Amino acid sequence: MLKIVDARNRRAVQALLAPERVRDAATERRVARIVADVRRGGDRALLRYARRLDRLDGPIEIGEAEMREAAGRVPRAVRAALRAAARNIRCVARQQVPRGWRTRVDAGVVVEQRIIPLDRVGCYVPGGRYPLPSSLLMTAIPAAAAGVGEIVAVCPRPAPAVLAAALEAGLSRMFRVGGAHAVAALAYGTETIPRVDKIVGPGNRYVAAAKALVASDCGIDFYAGPTEIVIVASRGPAAWIAADLVAQAEHDPDARAVLITPSRTLAARVAREVEARLPDAGPARQALQGHGGVIVTPSLAEAMALANLAAPEHLVLDNERLAGMVRCAGSVFVGPWSAQAAGDYAIGSNHVLPTAGAARSRGGLSAADFVRQITVQRLTRAGLRRIGGTAMTLAGAEGLHAHAASVGIRIR
């Protein structure tokens, strides 16, 4: 069932690693209407959509008492796992906060960079096929580590485990709403939901389209498409590789799961193991039938070249030597014991990652996404005299003579 293709078959390789992304015009039109309605109508429009699409039948805001009551119904082992995951995420996030600095460029010329936390951020937590408390931890905890003043979350149907995660992450406020209307409320504010500086977190195609639409007015992390995993290996174990492919495929029928290997023997073994592990129906089977496969290359070096070209969300490598060859990936897992699924929950690294080739330009969500980096300049009279000629000459070369004059008037 898992197709095996030769690396020389460029069309087949292209289909597996760089599929054409077709914009869904109907979804975009519907999302544009919803966003415009909420931006214009505030709570009235928001509640209308929430009742119709989210089946909201109570208060939109979730209070701390409700969170604690729900958390009390979560099994003790799950609560302990949430605490352990939160501790590890917090540990990593603290290391990710950028540091301010100050440098003397020349005598009398000083440049400083200040790190200022965002004032308020919005975390989108999906409430669809599976409850995702881990996504709340992965978005809210880095924001808290960066020093964000207010952290707001939205989730259309939060399960008790999600509410337990909200307590663990220390959310400021949480609202029982989702979809494009929730994104619009966060981006523009309503009477109930405050406007935020940035929206982060995964969601379905409506959420992704809404985030892309509001990005000119409100910061977002990145456009998130279907999840992806690429594995580069030459040895196996085949059963472990198959388990990783199936695990990632169960997220979504559009998930992409690919092994790249120079070993035809390993390719065949992994294909058999995948078939043995797949349920008869469900998103994993749909994903692997439509978007899964094995690419057989002449060498490991060529396998890594293809992996870098794909810039996958998750890249799994079977040995340390390959790690030094990585150029583009959202998150990398090295060695047979570094299970990618462990990164989804417990390692402390973030699982909110770029997809669809976006890893060519950025990595995953981090505490650095929740700060402003502000540059401060200080010049003395002598300092301006030292660099003023350079500034005036370049301004003149660009034809911006008023720029040159604003420096020259001080020097003269």
Q: Could you report the per-residue pLDDT of 264-283, keeping only the tens digit for each?
A: 999 999 999 999 988 877 88
In tens, the pLDDT along 306-355 reads 999 999 999 999 999 999 999 999 999 999 999 999 999 999 999 999 99
**How confident is the model at residue 18, as a pLDDT?**
80
Mean pLDDT of the chain: 95
Report the range of poorest mean pLDDT among 128-137, 264-273, 286-295: 128-137
Q: Predicted confidence band at 20 (pLDDT cuts at 50, 70, 90)?
A: low
Coil/strand/helix, residue 383 = helix
The DSSP element (H or E) to which 212 belongs, if any, is helix 205-214
Q: Which residues have a Cβ under 8 Å from the Cβ of 175 and sit 6 or more positions away?
A: 60, 61, 62, 152, 153, 154, 155, 182, 185, 192, 193
pTM confidence score:
0.93
Q: Residue 128 phi/psi, 5° resolution?
A: -90, -120
3-state secondary structure of 234: coil
Q: What is the pLDDT of residue 155?
A: 97
pLDDT computed for residue 124 by the predictor: 97
Q: Which of the four CATH numbers 3.40.50.1980, 3.30.70.260, 1.10.10.60, 3.30.565.10 does domain 3-21+226-361 have? A: 3.40.50.1980
Intrachain domains 3-21+226-361 and 42-102+116-220 with the same fold:
yes
Q: What is the pLDDT of residue 127?
A: 85
Residue 284 CB coordination number (10 Å): 24
The proportion of the chain whose per-residue pLDDT surpasses 90, expressed as a percent, equals 89
- Please give the backbone phi and psi of residue 199, each rounded to the nearest 5 degrees, phi first: -115, 130
pLDDT value at residue 372: 97
**What b/e string do you get for 332-345 counting C-beta neighbours within 10 Å, with b at 16 or more?**
bbbebeebbbebbb
For residue 274, which of 250, 317, 243 has the smallest C-alpha distance?
243
Domains in the chain: boundaries: 3-21+226-361, 42-102+116-220, 380-411
Helix (H) or strand (E) holding 72: none
- Show Cβ contacts of residue 71 under 8 Å, excluding neighbours closer than 6 positions: 79, 160, 163, 164, 167
What does the pLDDT read at residue 231?
Answer: 98
Tokens of 147: 């020093």
Q: Which two tokens stand for residue 298?
A: 């002449």
pLDDT tens column, 91-107: 999 999 999 999 999 99
pLDDT tens-digit series, residues 150-171:
999 999 999 999 999 999 999 9
Rounded-to-integer distance, Cα 319 and Cα 327, Å? 16
Phi, psi (rounded to 5 degrees) for 51:
-70, -35
**pLDDT exceeds cutoff 90 at 130:** no
| Residues 6 or more apart in contact with residue 45 via CB below 8 angstroms | 37, 38, 181
Q: Are 176 and 70 in contact (CB under 8 A)?
A: no
Q: pLDDT by residue (tens digit) across 35-82?
A: 999 999 999 999 999 999 999 999 999 999 999 999 999 999 999 999
Distance CA 308, CA 317 (A): 12
Task: Write the DSSP assignment of 122-186 as a string of letters.
Answer: EEE---SSS--HHHHHHHHHHHHHHT-SEEEEE-SS--HHHHHHHHHHT-SEEES--HHHHHHHH
Q: How confident is the model at residue 24 (pLDDT cuts 50, 70, 90)?
A: confident
Given this model, what pLDDT does residue 207 score? Answer: 95
In 3D space, the residue among 404, 365, 410 whose CA is nearest the CA of residue 385 turns out to be 410
| 8 A C-beta contact, residue 180 and residue 206 | yes
> Could you give the count of Cα atoms lying within 13 Å of 239 in the half-sphere of its Cβ?
1
CB of 351 within 8 A of CB of 344?
Answer: yes
User: Which pLDDT belongs to residue 22?
Assistant: 62
Whether residue 125 has pLDDT greater than 80 = yes
Contact 198, 215 (CB under 8 A): no
Active site residues: 313-314
Q: Give the model's pLDDT for residue 83.
A: 97
Give the fold, CATH level 3, of 42-102+116-220: Rossmann fold (3.40.50)
